[in-house]
Amino acid sequence: MFELIIWISLALIASSSFLLMIRLIKGPSVPDRAISLDAIGINLVGITAIMSIVLDTSAFLDIILLIGILAFIGTVSIAKFLEKGEIIENDRNNQ
């Protein structure tokens, strides 16, 4: 019963990632694609957590936090590129 629930939730997250992939390909504007990429990253966190339950190991728990940090930094840098045109500024106070 527990195993069935695990596989069903894994299939649901996978189909959610698939639908987000459609938005990533079709998305009319760039922010649509950025948000769908961020949500795919968060779905990847869920997939990693469920797979670590399936494989009965705690070795992947660091990966979960790692994907969260990388998704945050990546999304912030995409947002800053869309907003200002450059990701790392030289001097923001007097330019």
Is-contact 95 89, C-beta < 8 A? yes
Residue 36 and residue 27 in contact, taking contact as beta carbons nearer than 8 Å: yes
Scan for tokens 């957590």, then name that residue. 49
Q: Could you tell me the smallest distance in angstroms from the CB atom of residue 36 to another protein?
A: 19
Q: Given the rule CB under 8 A, which of 4-12, 20-28, 32-40, 84-92 is the region that contacts another protein?
A: 84-92
- Residue 9's Cβ-count burial label (10 Å; 0-12, 13-18, 19+) is middle
Stretch touching another protein by CB under 8 A, among 9-17, 21-29, 39-47, 76-84: 76-84
Rounded CA separation 7/70 (Å)? 27
Binding map of another protein across residues 33-62, x = CB under 8 A, - = no contact: --------------------------x--x
* Size, binding site for another protein by CB under 8 A: 25
Binding site for another protein (CB under 8 A): 59, 62-63, 65-66, 69-70, 72-73, 76-77, 80-93
